[in-house]
Amino acid sequence: MQGHFAFEALEALGPVVGFTAWCSAEISAKAYASGNPLPWLRKRIADALSKIGGVEFIAVLEEEWSSAKGTYRLHLHGILGIDGSKRRLLAKVRKALRRAMGSWNGEARKHQIRFSHDLDCGWASYCTKRTWLALPGIRRLFASAPMHSSFRLSFDGPVMTMTNGVRELAKELHQEARRAVQEARKRPIAVELPQTTPEAAAPVSESLDAPARATRFRSRPTKMPMTPLPIPIVTIVGTPIITISEIWKASIGNSLPTTSRSSWPMPARAPRPVLAVQVMPIATGDRLPADARSRGPPGSSWSRHA
């Protein structure tokens, strides 16, 4: 929200141009060594732009891990209060930013400072897309994250800055918007209901015998008046309800034998036969009679001696 009102304030002052500026390895190391990179870079940028007459600006600091060099690289996204149609002014601003951020060498030099034209609120959202990582609660949440995690900032301090003139105007715009919202909440909400108009009467023909006008659409039938239909009155006469058990008892239930457990008739059961077994004890020294001995198979020694 702060970045949005800062963009609105800077745009209210005049034409604006977006920019992206990368720091050199030397300037990045010095910014990290200062302990608070953004205020240190802001002072360098303000001093460089003051030499060309002073420029109002907004800047947001971001860092990116370089696996090839094994270090972080700092860069800025922001908005400048200058006229982008003036090429000489753009060249002076580019030179001042390169002097403040540290000049790149070789072919990469032309990609160090880039300008964006025809800005809208989308550019302000793009510049502030990672500012939420600097909130105290978010810093504590990702304090134990890996060192190279994209959700952990390796430096302390703020991540967004702006010139004093932009800050004061942004505060005024924020207060105006806040008052407008509070007044809108106090006003009652008026809801306009749709007004119902009576249907236009159908044109009456001058002559009853005049033929109907030809049309290729089928005319709707005339609505007949609805009259209430007579409702017959039905009288229901109640009769006593007799259960099946009562009918059974009244007919044949009392004539059949019943048991003590249930009133339901049960058929008589035939007596079961009892098998009696008599056990005769035999003493150890008793000898069986000769007829009771087994003679064994024919031709055995037992049968020959017997």
Structural contact between residues 18 and 126, judged by C-beta atoms closer than 8 angstroms: no
Q: What is the pLDDT of residue 91?
A: 93
Q: What is the pLDDT of residue 90?
A: 93
What is the Cα–Cα distance from 26 to 32, expressed in whole angstroms?
10
Q: Cα-Cα-Cα-Cα dihedral of 137, 138, 141, 146, to 10°?
A: -150
* Domain residue spans of the chain: 2-185
Instruction: Name the residue type at position 116.
Output: S
Angle at 100 between CA 106 and CA 148, to 5 degrees: 75
160: which 2 tokens?
């967004």
Q: What is the pLDDT of residue 246?
A: 61
Per-run averaged pLDDT (10 residues), the chain, 306 residues = 85 91 92 92 93 90 84 92 91 93 84 90 90 90 83 88 91 90 83 63 50 52 57 48 57 50 52 49 50 51 45
Q: What is the pLDDT of residue 49?
A: 93
3-class DSSP assignment, residue 99: helix
164: which 2 tokens?
């004093």
262: which 2 tokens?
């249930």
3-class DSSP assignment, residue 90: helix
Angle between helices 2-13 and 164-186 (to 10 degrees): 110
Element (H, E) at 115: strand 113-116
